[in-house]
Amino acid sequence: MAPVLPLLLLVGLSRRTADAVAAELAASAEIVRSTPQNLPAHVVGTPGQRRPTVVVLGEAVPAPAGVVHSLRPHPADLVVAVAAVPAAHDKLAVLPLLFSADVVHRVEGGEEARRMPHVVGELLRKLTRRHAHAAAQAAAQRRLSSRTSIGRQLGERLLGQFLAQAPIGVLVLEDDAVIAWNQRAADLLELTEPDSVHQPVTGLFPEEQRAALLRHLTAVGRRDAEPDAVFERVRGDGTSQALRMAVRQVVDIEGHDRVLVLAEDVTDRLHAQRRLAERTSHALLTAEVAAAMTAPGPLDGRLRECVRAATDRLGADRVCVWNLNTRGELDHVVCAADDTEARGTSICERLHRALVEQVVATHRPHLDVPPRTDPHAFGNEGVRGSFAAFPLVSGGELIGVLSLTTRLALPGSVLAVLENIADQIAVGTQQDRLLNRLSEATHALARPLLPPRLPDLSGFDLAARYAPFGQGLQIGGDFYDAFTAPDGRHVLVLGDVCGKGPDAAAVTGLVRHTLWAGAQHTSEPAHVLDLVNTALRRQNAPFCTLVYVVIDTTRTPARLRIAGAGHPAPLLRRASGATAPLETRGALLGVFDTPRHPVTEVDLLPGDTLVLYTDGFTEGAGSLNPREPEDLAAVLAALPPAGAAGLAEHVAAALTDDARRWWGDELRDDLAVLAVTAAW
């Protein structure tokens, strides 16, 4: 068969350079001038099996690195020459990182027309030689695989001359028995004469590997056969070894079928891959534990996610978390095991409690890890199991123990990641405890700031909703109250003290007490609000906004007397559903010496509802999407008709739910609403 003429593609070259290359190499290759867009049509096929091709990219190609990558260069059939002028250096900097010099060659300097023909000619000659060598090897393999006398003679020459000194291990098998090998195979598999002759090759590998190896050896020639596979064994010195075994069918000089096995030591490569996989798994475990410990929800559920991830990622039999309760006693909290039959705390309590208590007593890890004589061993059978326990310490306080049980020997990398996730679990657990304590303290401080329950007002239905911002971990300034004054009138008040935290709580307590104490003399708005303003001014306390409502039940229908102090206008929803804000204008409390608070009077007819609310409903996300009282009135007006019974609760819930939908995750303020409905 005549040799294939290589293809030379010229892309983006100046006319002078392209003419120079074509003039010198016209007899050596088929020359085609192309564009980057048309290149793929000229280089189709599987890399390594395409027509020998040299591609020359000139300085006019805008993205040479991308073009080279799309060509999929291969030393057997496609190489690239790139003009590397100074202006394109930044674009070409990545090429040496992606491609070796034998497939991508940079032509430096500005004398492109003079140097390019010589460079391209040399690339053509090298590519032609490589292609011819690959063709010869393929032909030899075809002859070796064929059952002709020519194939037998060629096979004899390869076995006798080439394979005997090959740098790769070569075995010749008769069925499963070893009948010949080269020196490299003897070194790899520790073969000796005459002891190893006619010994089964599977006997050189551990019991658990033999069935798979035998299937691999006998599958040669079948369509579903794998060309090679990796098998592991233990050498005489106790170290592990990984061999890539490639199997070929050959015919010897006498016409007998033989199995040719090529054995390559890939121990270092396999261990490097495993170490990379191990580091990746440990990094993912660390990330999963961090995500679990910072996620919302009960602590037990988050700890269960942590121990489950550790069990899966580390191949452990059992991972447990033990906590010290408030009495200093050790509690088994969560456990993840790989066998469902052994689940439960009884095994942990019986086998491991004493070891865990030792960690509690010493505040130091307890490691019962058998030494590993083979640094490359990964889970060999027969290795004594391991137990490791690490104290959970945060801020110098011991809060529990993380324990792990496995049938495997634990390498130092696993112990290091265990110590790391123990720190993460300790910090997360401590934060959860601190948040619980803060929540309890917040609720204890906030409890006196709101009435324990709303009073029963004859002829009226009362409802309130209070939703603190931040999961109730911070005391807000919103408050409400409802009571009956000695003069027989009902008093409703809802307000907001400037600020948050203990200072705001103290001011809220002052305002609520002053409101109640002032109403014991008279419930008149002017009298009560003046007392609150004086109390705030005297204490130099932050200002306060509120709405003060007196329900006069001596009239039929009931008369509402409403005074506002810088607070959002209350809403009056009539029995028909029509809703509108009520005009209330009055100065903030605690700012002026003699503030004015005009009183608005309105009748509360049967089925009517008065709604008081804080500015969280209008400015819950600051300046983002603010709302007006008219917007809230529209929400209440859209509610379906309902009887007076339970209407106050329905209105308060609807307004709160609407505020949460409106701002979603942007909500940054407390929500407090107080509604009263007149009975029919």
247-306 per-position pLDDT tens digit: 888 776 666 777 889 999 999 988 888 888 888 888 889 999 999 888 888 888 899 999
Tell me the range of 121-125, 299-303, 607-611, 640-644 where mean pLDDT is highest. 607-611
Q: Is residue 1 part of a domain?
A: no
List, as one string, the DSSP characters of 127-138: HHHHHHHHHHHH
Q: Rounded distance, CA 32 to CA 7, Å? A: 8
For residue 174, what pLDDT is reported? 83
Which residue(s) pair with 54 in the sheet?
A: 8, 79
pTM, 2 dp: 0.49
pLDDT per residue as tens digits for the range 52-64: 999 999 888 888 8
List, as one string, the DSSP characters of 188-233: HHT--TTTTTT-BGGGGS-HHHHHHHHHHHHTTTSTT--SEEEEEE
For residue 558, what pLDDT is reported? 93
% the chain with pLDDT above 70: 85
β-strand pairing of 330-337 with 318-324: antiparallel
317 in the same domain as 363: yes
For residue 149, what pLDDT is reported? 34
199 in the same domain as 137: no
237 in the same domain as 209: yes
Which residue(s) pair with 604 in the sheet?
A: 558
Contacts of 62 (CB under 8 A, 6+ apart): 36
Q: Is residue 441 part of a domain?
A: no
User: 41: buried, middle or exposed (CB in 10 Å: 19+, 13-18, 0-12)?
Assistant: exposed
607 in the same domain as 504: yes
87 in the same domain as 15: yes
Residue listed under structure tokens 């591609």: 55
For residue 629, what pLDDT is reported? 94
Which stretch of DSSP H or E encloses residue 21?
A: helix 15-25
Q: Is residue 2 part of a domain?
A: no
* Residue range 190-214: mean pLDDT, rounded: 89
Instruction: Please give the structure tokens belonging to residue 217.
Output: 């050896």
* Residue range 119-130: mean pLDDT, rounded: 88
- Secondary structure of residue 394 in the 3-state scheme: strand
Q: Rounded distance, CA 441 to CA 435, Å? A: 10
CATH of the domain at 124: 3.40.50.2300
187 in the same domain as 87: no
User: Residue 414 above 90 pLDDT?
Assistant: no
459 in the same domain as 342: no
Mean of pLDDT over the chain: 84
pLDDT per residue as tens digits for the range 305-358: 999 999 888 888 889 999 988 788 888 888 887 444 444 556 788 888 888 999
Q: Is residue 445 part of a domain?
A: no
Domain termination site, one of 265, 293, 315:
265
Q: Comparing 388 with 138, which gets the higher pLDDT?
A: 388
215 in the same domain as 316: no
Q: Is residue 270 part of a domain?
A: no
Q: Is residue 443 part of a domain?
A: no
For residue 408, what pLDDT is reported? 79
Q: Rounded distance, CA 444 to CA 440, Å? A: 6
For 127-141, 391-405, 481-495, which range has the lowest pLDDT when averaged over its residues?
A: 127-141
User: Residue 136 above 80 pLDDT?
Assistant: no
For residue 98, what pLDDT is reported? 78
As a whole number of Å, the CA-based R_g of the chain is 43
Q: Rounded distance, CA 247 to CA 584, Å? A: 94
List, as one string, the DSSP characters of 222-283: STT--SEEEEEEE-TTS-EEEEEEEEEEEE-TTS-EEEEEEEEE-HHHHHHHHHHHHHHHHH
Amino acid 135 reads A
Residue 68 Cα to chain centre, angstroms = 35
- Domain holding 522, by residue range, is 450-678
454 in the same domain as 593: yes
Half-sphere exposure of 553 (CA within 13 A, CB side): 13
pLDDT band for position 377 (50/70/90)?
very low
Q: Is residue 444 part of a domain?
A: no
For residue 328, what pLDDT is reported? 83
571: nearest Cα among 455, 674, 495: 674
For residue 578, what pLDDT is reported? 94
Q: Comparing 153 with 180, which gets the higher pLDDT?
A: 180
User: Residue 209 above 80 pLDDT?
Assistant: yes
404 in the same domain as 454: no
Report the first-to-last Cα separation within the chain, whole angstroms.
108
Q: Is residue 440 part of a domain?
A: no
For residue 603, what pLDDT is reported? 95
495 in the same domain as 370: no
For residue 381, what pLDDT is reported? 42
For residue 111, what pLDDT is reported? 59
CATH of the domain at 628: 3.60.40.10
* Residue range 545-560: mean pLDDT, rounded: 93
User: Residue 513 above 80 pLDDT?
Assistant: yes
pLDDT band for position 101 (50/70/90)?
confident
Please count the structural domains in the chain.
4
Domain termination site, one of 143, 170, 205:
143
13 in the same domain as 84: yes
Q: Rounded distance, CA 220 to CA 246, Å? A: 9
Domain termination site, one of 435, 469, 489:
435
